[in-house]
Amino acid sequence: MEKGSFERLIEGQGEIKMSGKVWINGKFVDREKARIDIFSHSLQRGSNIFERIICYDIKGRTAVFRLDDHLDRFINSAGLIRMKLPYSKEELKEAVKETVNINNIKNPYIKMSAHYPNEEFDVAPPDDLVQVAIAAVDMLALLRKHKSTRVKPNLRVRVISQRKLHPDTAPVKAKVSANYLSAMLAKYEARDAGADEAIMLDREGNVAEASAENVFLIKDGVIATPGLDYILSGVTRKSVIEVAGDLGIRVEERRVRKEELYEADELFLTATSVKIWPVIQVDEKLINNGEVGEISRRLNNEFNKIISGESKKYDKWLTYTR
């Protein structure tokens, strides 16, 4: 299979750059000085919302992938946990661009968050002070150094016992830190079973998502992916659905039974950092004899064109920082 966007970025990365400047509430500070109180509400209660956004070098210019969509989700996450952001979408967009430019990292990975920085004893903070932080880091090199499974080109996954949070108990469409405890436990369970990644089911036993990725399967030329009832609305998920439609491939957003994973002709996960991540094994069952399928290849190739600036149709997804 032609190398995916993440695999291509990993190659040739230099030394890890952990210094640099972090944008915090309108001012840049050295990363070493970007700190919050260890007893802050968001650290103690998990009330931190965040986004991870990837950039690509296109002919010497830095392009942020689907910045508007990420900011929309960031703002929506704040609303779902009743957090009042002190900045508009346009102000956040300019802050992202400034942060990318001042740090001058090739293919930077943007990490942004909003949190309650003050110590609070109440579970609902009476102090509505919110701190927004934006950093541009060489996270890809960091993942390579620590031999993260996220640099693997193909995956072996395990359907695990840890169930996905129910929307009646938590705002599953918010990218908020507290929601990721179940994902962490799911990943541990998958690792213990010798797999690279976990697949979580919802309360009814249908496929929900992986620990930090959306799930897609292909059967008889048709793509199926779980609907948004239980899952985070992934930006890459949204992109795949649109690209597949433009390629004439039918996509169904519906309930996906666990058994369909084992019957699939192809299977892949999607996430911001890895785009399309082929799965070659579920539990003990090889998918497509352990080979990446044709539709996954087509989608991967199309994404490579997009992030290389070769697809004019999708220029709308690229925001150049200068």
Measured between alpha carbons, how far is 174 from 177 in angstroms, rounded to an integer? 9
The Cα 224–Cα 263 span in angstroms is 12
| Banded pLDDT at 148 (limits 50, 70, 90) | low
Q: Comparing 198 with 152, which gets the higher pLDDT?
A: 198
* pLDDT score, position 147: 62
State residue 183's pLDDT score: 94
For residue 10, name the pLDDT band (cuts at 50, 70, 90).
Answer: very low
Residue 128 or residue 264, greater confidence: 264
For 264-301, the pLDDT digits (tens) are 999 999 999 889 999 999 999 999 999 999 999 999 99
* pLDDT tens-digit series, residues 208-233: 999 999 999 999 999 999 999 999 99
pLDDT for 14 equals 47
Confidence of residue 13 (pLDDT cuts 50, 70, 90): very low
Residue bearing the bigger pLDDT, 152 or 299: 299
The mean predicted confidence, pLDDT, of the chain is 92
Topology (CATH) of 149-310: D-amino Acid Aminotransferase; Chain A, domain 2 (3.20.10)
Mean pLDDT for 93-120 is 95
- Give me the residue spans of the domains in the chain: 17-137, 149-310
* pLDDT above 80 (res 140): no
Q: Which CATH architecture has domain 17-137?
A: 2-Layer Sandwich (3.30)
Catalytic site residues? 175
Residue 93: beta bridge partners? Answer: none
126 or 175, which is more confident? 175
- Grade residue 106 by pLDDT with cuts at 50, 70 and 90: confident
Q: What's the pTM?
A: 0.92
